[in-house]
Structure 1
């Protein structure tokens, strides 16, 4: 988004708080948000059908702490903030096809340590490894990948003789089905919410989508109804 870039309003620090205070609802209304918790990792769990990843979500665990416990071989109660932070980087790095070099650059790990962490991750979540490899194979054979809802993206560069171009295409092939599925899910939710709000002749408005979050401008008289309606339709 641009002019203004409402997708990237600062959130951290004092400046971020001040900037966000500029966004207000009209008198008699308020701003309400509904979002999907860790939607990309949930999409990865579904697409890969990895038992450990699915179990963590089914048990409503903190997925980053669960991954840290797996990687460091400790109980979830013993996971430190630094352990969780590293596990979070690895979790999201997998979606983007992060290499040991990429993990080294994103953390304070050495290349050797980064390589070991990625290997350990795939040892703990073998279903994810199998899914990522099968996705790259599909891209090479079919020249495209697709989301859970069937939306396709052409990845012809995956057959390039240029290694850098080919590796970039492999990262795109890994990333698109996961993030694309997340995008499909929130778009379906937007359509369903818009339809339901119109049918009920509500005055509430859906004003913005920010990644996995929807922002609504809600009259105070409709607040309780929208608090029930939004999670019901998004779930």
Structure 2
């Protein structure tokens, strides 16, 4: 019989921790999805992410992450070998959302944080990719824009852990103790998907290229390296 009071006390402690720390959940939507084909290849032709141009320092995803995700998604296409045809990427990103202070204030003033309050963090990307031969002639190029939204809500109560209605293009995220979009898991999720989308833009550009010219340029470069 003594176990019941102890259990009730334990549940009360857990509930109090949730109430005091806050709860949040998020779903993710993207206007672009990379081609899902690990066996995709262009014969013997290989490509290397050789140069990146960013609008400003510190923008994510980083060149290293884009390289990693490209090679993981399309292992028969991308390489770090110097013989790979060089891929040039020009990349811009803009982020818009309520300030973190505004989110917390909104949670406090709306029914004392009982009702989960939805908000959206929007991430816009513009990518321009190009592949050149050894003479600087453009073999293919493409520009694409896409958007990744983090649709989240927050509450001081466990209601904030309820799944947000609507589809999620990436695995959902739940957080106790701070806002879900503050978490490294959520930040990494957005950056990883953005890197995969950038790799997908390169793939789409290559699909539209003259395949004979790609093969000839690769063989010519390979003979020089």
Assess same fold via TM > 0.5: no
TM-score calculated relative to the size of structure 2:
0.27
Larger Rg, first or second structure (1 or 2): 2
1 or 2 for the larger relative contact order (CA 8 Å, sep ≥6)? 2
Richer in helix (by share): 1
TM-score calculated relative to the size of structure 1:
0.27
Richer in strand (by share): 2
